[in-house]
Amino acid sequence: MASQKLATDPPFDLVGSSSSGLPLAYFTSDESVISISGNRATIKKAGIVQVTAKQEGDDIFDEATAVSRSLTITKAPQDISFTLASQKLATDPPFDLVGSSSSGLPLTYFTSDESVISISGNSATIKKAGTVQITAKQVGDDIYDEAIPVVQNLEVHKVQQNIVFDLPSKKYGDPDFALDARSDAGISITYSIDNNSAVNLINGNMIRIKSVGNTNITATAESTSIYYEASVTKNLEISAILGIEERALDKSIIYPNPADRVIVIDLAEFTNSTVTISVYDMYGRDRHMITTTATERIPLDISDFQSGIYFVKIIHKNETNILKFIKR
């Protein structure tokens, strides 16, 4: 009998004989390793057993001395087949890890970085961008030896986000307005401007117009563990208020009109309320601005104004009114 077998070897016959010609009986020292039926041995698992041949004799022949042979059953080797796409996007959905062993035993998968990829069973879930190694293992059993692990590298890349950012047309004298850029990734937007002489950025996303001119406004969505940083720059042009119509208040609130040296602004209806009064020319340039508690009449010296059309903007609480006067 061969001294070694593989655990995957098929059943085999035990071959022996006695000098008497009487049949032999075979016995195993460990039925969990090898079972014997007649002279047929079946391997159950890896291990070391003693197989003993006996002949108990009969009326003519005495019992023979038993003969034992050591048999080593070694585990069978196995291989792993495991392939993996080398690249994924951080927004890709969970995906299955597909591999197999030559033994048919199931594989177990492991990740080198749970913060990038988590694994449950054979399902992998992407958490963020990064590089990981995914290892397929098969530890073997009573029949098969542990397989050599197979390692695959996986790069998870960030995704480019897109920003939608539109700016309306604006004129000098328009009220403050909110910027409303949006990232398709849902990441919050921050804003910056490059010309503080035309506008002010207040409260993070509000624009206050200061004068005619233009500025570039940049909307930025910061980088995250999943998305690259994105930014969009738009130009905001503040135009003069040529052709603007007077709004809300009776024109007689400013007199005389036309005027040469002084105009009077009648604020009787705003008495004891805070008002902001701005005067600007046809090109939106500031000529005068005051914030005051309204009295019945406020005189305004316009003697150094050039001849032309001017506008007075009166802000009272949340209401803005614009009136026109002519300097002769």
Pairing of strands 319-327, 12-13: unpaired
Pairing of strands 182-183, 163-164: antiparallel
Specify the pTM: 0.65
List per-residue pLDDT tens for the chain, 328 residues long. Answer: 678 999 999 999 999 999 999 999 999 999 999 999 999 999 999 999 999 999 999 999 999 999 999 999 999 999 999 999 999 999 999 999 999 999 999 999 999 999 999 999 999 999 999 999 999 999 999 999 999 999 999 999 999 999 999 998 888 778 899 999 999 999 999 999 998 888 999 999 999 988 778 899 999 999 999 999 999 999 998 886 654 444 555 555 888 999 999 999 888 777 677 888 888 877 667 778 777 776 778 888 999 998 888 888 888 777 778 888 888 8
Query: What's the burial of 265, exposed, middle or buried (CB within 10 Å: 0-12/13-18/19+)?
Result: buried
Nearest Cα neighbor of 231 from 169, 164, 177, 157 is 164
> 51 near 36, Cβ under 8 Å?
yes
Give dist(CA 171, CA 243) in Å, integer: 11
> 284 near 212, Cβ under 8 Å?
yes
